[in-house]
Chain A
Amino acid sequence: MSSTLVEHEAAAKAPRPVTTGTPSPRRSRRLSWGRITPYLLILPAIVFELLVHVVPMVVGVWMSFIQLTQFYITNWLSAPFVGFGNFQIALDFQNPLGAQLARSFGVTLAFTILTVGSSWLFGMAASIVLQRSFRGRGFLRTLFLIPYAIPAYAGIITWKFIFQRDTGLLNELLVDNLHLTDTAPFWLIGDNAFWSLVIVSVWQQWPFAFLMTMAGMQGIPEELYEAAAIDGASVWQQMRHITLGLMRPINSVLLLLLFLWTFREFNTPFVLFGARPADSANLLVVNIYQSSFIQWNFGLGAAMSVLLMLFLILVAALWAVWNRKVRRDA
């Protein structure tokens, strides 16, 4: 998967036919049909991509340059062009909206790093201890994958119930069973909301990390471990040198995917807290949702979305550069 990604990056820079080591079916080149075939094959995909990704994105970017407020929403074309005005508001950190966006960016970054880090760590750890067969391994593997399969809404609403102040499991456990605090803390408002968000997201995300790392580890030939064991390497050394080493490509893809997905997370805060989460849990996409659908300032919302997209593209580009360097060094 990762090699494909790198290959695509390279191909994007050099539009000429790529000549890789593998032979391509040259036979078809001679026939005009053969030349058209690949385009016919990707045509349906292109049509749908255009309809739902490319065209809306172009419209969305255009929206970010106009003053699309309640006064103009029924007649888009009459909305005044404001150039970078919306971007100025979004990036003016003296202004409350800009300040809120900056804070929201910080919250989102912290949330993403914690969620992705924990999810990866949990996934790796579980994959490693479940790599060798023992009684109950199949059951545990199944159990760990369940949260990934449960529809987002059902999982999040269950957590919302757990986090209820007066009727939730968590406070019953902390206050009445373990007597850790006297007054029941809030989990859905105030600063704790951030931790609730992280917990729920990790619960949902880590099974995917587990699935990916488990898949990766299954691909490592058993002989490598056997050979290492004959050479006298301990289980820990095998883990460090063979498992972690060979898992590097899959880990780098996994971390990128988790980062991109988590940074855009909308479902969890929206279901947990509603349209107005605590400042501590005000993720970027929710912030954009507020600007657009609650404040009815779609131009500003679009400008924020464009900024978010630029940031994610930057992250992916940095990742691609880093990934290529790692591969060259390897």
Chain B
Amino acid sequence: MHEPRSFKIFRWVVLVPLVLFTAVPLYVMMSSSLKPLGDVQGPWEWWPSEFTIQPFIDIWSTVPLAHYFWNSLVVSVCATAASVIIAIFASYAISRYRFRGRGAFSGVVLSTQMFPGILFLLPLFIIFVNIDRALGFQLFYQTQAGLIVTYLTFTLPFSIWMLASYMDGIPRDLDEAARVDGTTAMGALFRVVLPSARPGIIAVAVYSFMTAWGEILFASQMTNNETRTLSIGLQAYSTEVNVYWNQVMAASLVVSVPIVVGFLILQRYLVAGLTAGAVK
């Protein structure tokens, strides 16, 4: 295809600043994590005076990072799994059925995008605590289960919305045909709709996992030493004797790498999920 010169210039004008803007913080994170403490306490150095992997060794003992890592993993995986399963059923209902209350339900799901999280924080506390009190043991308050439920409902509305749109894009003829052949609703969902909705499901899972992995406000209020997640655990580096910027950067890198790699592997599904939902 022919590209005029002006377009090529335009491409450079757009790409160079964006690449710098995106990459500089990534460079800061990576280079600082390989610097000795002295380098990060003085004026910024573009290049480490000597390369050291000491920060990557120290991070595990300064703060119980491995423990927080595990907590984040458990909470994020569970919230994602539950979110995906519930969203599959709910969005199947929205996409394939016309039932009384469908509009109201969709409305509630959408309106959650307008709720400021901070409005829930304290009431949620009270609700969790009272449930625990009624049960006689700590099920929700400051537990992983409580955090999972909380994250689940952050991710659920958007997941339902995205997946329902995706399912709308799957031709009804397919499951209609299966139904005519005598398959049950569940059968049609599992055998026909789900296999076609795989990109949408992965998209929802990626979104949910990332939301749970990076959440700060609720994690800061609803966890304790045992259940603290990474995003809160990272803050502990600055309450130490000194501000260990090299360790902070090393820990940030360690926390980011798995999720970035996972995201990059799965991002084509996210794109596909969004495309199907948005453009039709």
Contacts and interface: CB of A to CB of B under 8 A. Distances in A.
A and B touch in the complex (CB under 8 A): yes
A257 B6 CA distance: 33
Interface residues of B, number: 116
Interface string A1-22: 1111100111111111111101
Nearest to A154: B252
Nearest to B110: A8
B118 A285 contact: yes
A150 B251 CA distance: 12
B15 interface: yes
Interface residues of A, number: 122
A161 B111 CA distance: 36
Nearest to A153: B231
A59 interface: yes
Interface string A165-203: 011110110001000000000000000000000000001
Contacts of B278: 1-2, 212, 215-216, 219, 249-250, 253
Contact of B44 (A9, A46, A169, A316): A169
A158 interface: yes
Contact of B214 (A22, A146, A151): A151
Given A44-B89, A48-B153, A266 B216 contact: yes
A18 B172 CA distance: 16
A32 interface: no
B172 A23 contact: yes
B44 A168 contact: yes
B197 interface: no
Contacts of B22: 143-144, 146-147, 203, 207
Interface of B: 1-4, 6-7, 10-11, 14-15, 18-19, 21-26, 28-29, 32, 40-44, 46, 85-87, 89-90, 92-94, 96-124, 126-127, 149-150, 152-153, 156-157, 160-162, 164-165, 168, 172, 175-176, 179-180, 185, 210, 213-217, 230-231, 234-235, 245, 248-249, 252-253, 255-256, 259-260, 262-264, 267, 270-272, 274-275, 277-280
6 contacts: A14-B103, A17-B98, A39-B99, A151-B231, A305-B118, A313-B114
Given A41-B93, A53-B120, 8 more contacts: A3-B280, A11-B107, A12-B106, A145-B267, A149-B264, A151-B231, A151-B256, A305-B118
Interface of A: 1-5, 8-20, 22-25, 27-28, 34-35, 37-39, 41-42, 44-46, 48-49, 51-57, 59-60, 63, 76, 122, 125-126, 128-129, 132, 140, 142-155, 157-159, 161-162, 166-169, 171-172, 176, 203, 207, 211-212, 214-216, 218-220, 225, 229, 234-236, 246, 249-250, 253, 257, 260-261, 264, 266-267, 270-271, 284-285, 288-289, 292, 298, 301-302, 305-306, 308-309, 312-313, 316
* Interface pairs A-B: 9 shortest CB-CB: A11-B103, A59-B123, A154-B252, A305-B119, A149-B263, A52-B153, A219-B279, A41-B93, A56-B123
